[in-house]
Amino acid sequence: PFTPRVFSGIQPSGGLTLGNYLGALKRFAQAQDAGVETIYCMVDLHAITVWQDPEKLRHATRELCAGFIASGVDPEKSILFNQSQVAEHAQLAWIFNCVARMGWMKRMTQFKDKAGKNAENASLGLFGYPALMAADILIYHATHVPVGEDQKQHLELTRDIATKFNHDYGVDFFPITEPVIEGAATRVMSLRDGSKKMSKSDPSDMSRINLTDNADTIAKKIRKAKTDPEPLPSEVVGLAERPEARNLINIYAALSDQSVEQVMRDVGGKAFSEFKPMLADLAVAQMSPISTEMSRLMQDQAEIDRVLAEGAGRARAIAAPILRKTYEIVGM
């Protein structure tokens, strides 16, 4: 009974990587052409679960918006806005804080990773993050959420919250949202360590390709990417125990919109000295126009603010009646 609707968000916590692009942004742009409503959010309320310098947060929010647009998300086709500008997210999150159970939250592995050894000193917001994420999604009755693999557990919690709310109040009000985790690059790994996720928070800049990197930097990072000394295997199965090779092949497949099988038919058996320049050319061709377009967009910040304000208005028009109805169901 729920109209298909896509929602996803990214934190404006400074810096976007090839992982964010292939795992999220590129797929967001593809989803908007599939004939469903697409809603994309800069989740600044999530960003402040760890300390953010206010001026940097303001800048990162605009830069993220520029990153969305430069990656092909069209603010005419998709709703593009900033989370804190639509108060209904935080309002629904409070209701969900009262639905979610402590035990569920304590099982979230991302909290354990992000809080580290000093969990007692983590913010309450970092602990409650997945309930806010559930609200981000369900305030639009979103049915599909394209995300990277790292968000799978949070999406399961979103489903648990919707199920419990519906059950506790005897309604069929919130959809049971489907995570959409597909393609070759749902988990892009570090270029320096095949066992770690590519991330903006990695101390080594060589471990990632940033959306703001220029052509030379992109090519250099791929040339220097860590690999084992063997040539590429001739078949896909040979990638199983070779995380660095697997990662570069996955990146190649995602950038060229091919399956891993198709890519391996072309490059299987090649030495890295031959494959890496192919990958570098492809990455430069796909990624450097994005960085150029981001800097162009960042020169007109008033226009970015205008896009975000307009998107917030459109988002609120969907969110407000759903919050009103939620309050009514709850007895408010």
Residues annotated in the binding site, as ranges?
Answer: 11-13, 19-20, 136, 148-150, 188, 197-201
Please, which residue, 20 or 32, has the CB nearer to ligand ADP?
20
Angle, helices 54-70 vs 301-330, to 10°: value is: 100
Q: Are 177 and 159 in contact (CB under 8 A)?
A: yes
Q: Are 162 and 134 in contact (CB under 8 A)?
A: yes
Q: E-strand spans in the chain? A: 5-10, 37-42, 79-82, 144-146, 178-180
Tell whether residue 151 is a contact of ligand ADP (CB under 6 A).
Answer: yes
Known binding residues for L-tryptophan: 136
Tell whether residue 307 is a contact of ligand ADP (CB under 6 A).
Answer: no
Least Å distance, CB 201 to Na ion, is 10
What binding mask, one character per residue, do residues 171-190 give for ligand ADP by CB under 6 A, x or -?
--------------xxxx--
Options 56, 152, 200, 270, the catalytic residue: 200
What amino acid is encoded at 291 in this protein? S
Please, which residue, 11 or 85, has the CB nearer to ligand ADP?
11
Least Å distance, CB 252 to ligand ADP, is 15
Rounded Cα distance, 90 and 131, in Å: 10
Phi, psi of 53 (to 5 degrees): -65, 125
Tell whether residue 197 is a contact of ligand ADP (CB under 6 A).
Answer: yes
What binding mask, one character per residue, do residues 50-89 give for ligand ADP by CB under 6 A, x or -?
----------------------------------------
| DSSP structure string for 266-282 | HHTT--HHHHHHHHHHH
| DSSP structure string for 110-152 | HHHHHHTT-GGGS-HHHHHHHHHHHHHHHTTT--EEE--GGGH
List 6, 7, 19, 291, residue binding ligand ADP (CB under 6 A): 19
Binding interface with ligand ADP (CB under 6 A): 10-11, 13, 19-20, 23-24, 147-148, 150-151, 185-188, 197-200
Catalytic positions, written as ranges: 114, 197, 200
